[in-house]
C-alpha cells in the first residue's frame, strides 16, 4: 500500500465514507467492546492498550470479501499502473483483474481492525465474545479519543461488496471493511482501523468509561477487577449483568448498589429496526 493511501485510511476512515456521512449523526456517544477475562484484559486496564487484529483472525469466513465491478479496459489500466510501476507492458483487462485483487489483498492484509458494538445487552454477543457471559463488556466514550471518532458502522447486506476501481479508492476500501452479511446484523458493529498492521493502540485513559461484569462471572473476579481499578486510580464506573427471571433478557445494574440502569438506543434505532 502506498504511504499516502495508508494515511488516508487511518486519518479519513470515517470522513470519506458514505456510511460515515449517513450515520455519523446517529453514532452513540458510548460504544462497547466485549472481552474475555484473561491476562490481556488486565494489561488493557494497566496500560490503556486496545488490540487491533488482522481480519484473518475473525470468526466470519466472508470477512473483507468483495467482487470487482467490470469497467472499461482503459480505466482498469489506469488503476493498475497508478498502483504498480513495475509492469512495463500493456496487458489485457482480463489479466489485470487478478493483479488488482492482489493489490487489494495486500492492502487489506496490512490493516488492523477493532470491532465495537452499539449494544451491550445482547445474549449472543455475551456468549460469543465474553467467554459465555464470564467475561466483561468495556464501555468507551468515543468523544475522549480521536481513534474512536473515526469508527464506521457496519452495513449489513445479502450481497458481497462490489468494488468500483474507477471511483475514489479510499471510499471503495472502506466499503470492503464495513460490509458484512445480514446474518450478523444483531451485532450492531462499528469498526476502526490501524494502518500499520495488527497490534496494540494506546487510548486515552478517560476514554474507558465503564466496565460491565458478565452475568456468570465469579464474584471473586469482579472483586479483583474492582480492586485493580481502585489501585490504578482509574475513574471507571462498574456495572454487572444479570439474567432476567421472566424473559430471555439481560438486565444491567450498578455494581455494589444493585441500582438498575437502562440503555438509550435512540441514536441507533434505525439499525435495531433493520
Q: How many structural domains comprise the chain?
A: 1
pLDDT in tens, 29-74: 889 999 999 999 999 999 999 999 999 999 999 999 998 887 776 7
Pair 217, 137: CB distance under 8 Å: no
DSSP state of 206: G
What b/e readout covers 190-211, taking b as 16+ CB neighbours within 10 angstroms? bbbbbbeebebbebebebbbbb
Residue 34: which of 214, 221, 195, 239 has the closest Cα? Answer: 214
pLDDT in tens, 100-129: 777 788 888 889 999 999 999 999 999 999
pTM for the full predicted model: 0.84
Q: Would you place residue 266 in the very low, low, confident or very high pLDDT band (cuts 50, 70, 90)?
A: low
User: Would the CA dihedral through 72, 78, 79, 85 be positive or negative?
Assistant: positive
Question: What percent of the chain lies above the pLDDT cut of 70?
Answer: 78
pLDDT for position 1: 47
DSSP state of 150: G
User: Would the CA dihedral through 175, 66, 113, 119 be positive or negative?
Assistant: positive
Residue-range definition of the domain harbouring residue 55: 3-272
Mean of the per-residue pLDDT values for the chain?
84
Amino acid at each position: 500500500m502506498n504511504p499516502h493511501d495508508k494515511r488516508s485510511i487511518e486519518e479519513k476512515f470515517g470522513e470519506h465514507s458514505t456510511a460515515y456521512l449517513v450515520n455519523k449523526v446517529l453514532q452513540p456517544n458510548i460504544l462497547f467492546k466485549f472481552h474475555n477475562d484473561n491476562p490481556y484484559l488486565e494489561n488493557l486496564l494497566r496500560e490503556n492498550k486496545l488490540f487491533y487484529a488482522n481480519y484473518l483472525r475473525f470468526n466470519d469466513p466472508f470477512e473483507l470479501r468483495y467482487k470487482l465491478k467490470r469497467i472499461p479496459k482503459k480505466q482498469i489500466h489506469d488503476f493498475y499502473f497508478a498502483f504498480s510501476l513495475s509492469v512495463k507492458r500493456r496487458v489485457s483487462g482480463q489479466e489485470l483483474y487478478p493483479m488488482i485483487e492482489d493489490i487489494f489483498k495486500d492492502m487489506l492484509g496490512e490493516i488492523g481492525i477493532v470491532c465495537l458494538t452499539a449494544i451491550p445487552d445482547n445474549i449472543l454477543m455475551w456468549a460469543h465474545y465474553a467467554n459465555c457471559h464470564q467475561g466483561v463488556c468495556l464501555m468507551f466514550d468515543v468523544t475522549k479519543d480521536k481513534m474512536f471518532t473515526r469508527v464506521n458502522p457496519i452495513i449489513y447486506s445479502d450481497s458481497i461488496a462490489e468494488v468500483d476501481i474507477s471511483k475514489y479508492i479510499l471510499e471503495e476500501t472502506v466499503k470492503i471493511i464495513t460490509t458484512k452479511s445480514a446474518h450478523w446484523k444483531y451485532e450492531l458493529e462499528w469498526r476502526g482501523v490501524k494502518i500499520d498492521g495488527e497490534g496494540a493502540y494506546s487510548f486515552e485513559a478517560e476514554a474507558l468509561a465503564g466496565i460491565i461484569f458478565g452475568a456468570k462471572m465469579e464474584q471473586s473476579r469482579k472483586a479483583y477487577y474492582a480492586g485493580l481499578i481502585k489501585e490504578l486510580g482509574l475513574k471507571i464506573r462498574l456495572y454487572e449483568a444479570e439474567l432476567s427471571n421472566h424473559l430471555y433478557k439481560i438486565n444491567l445494574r450498578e455494581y455494589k448498589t444493585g441500582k438498575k440502569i437502562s440503555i438509550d438506543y435512540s441514536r441507533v434505532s434505525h439499525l435495531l429496526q433493520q
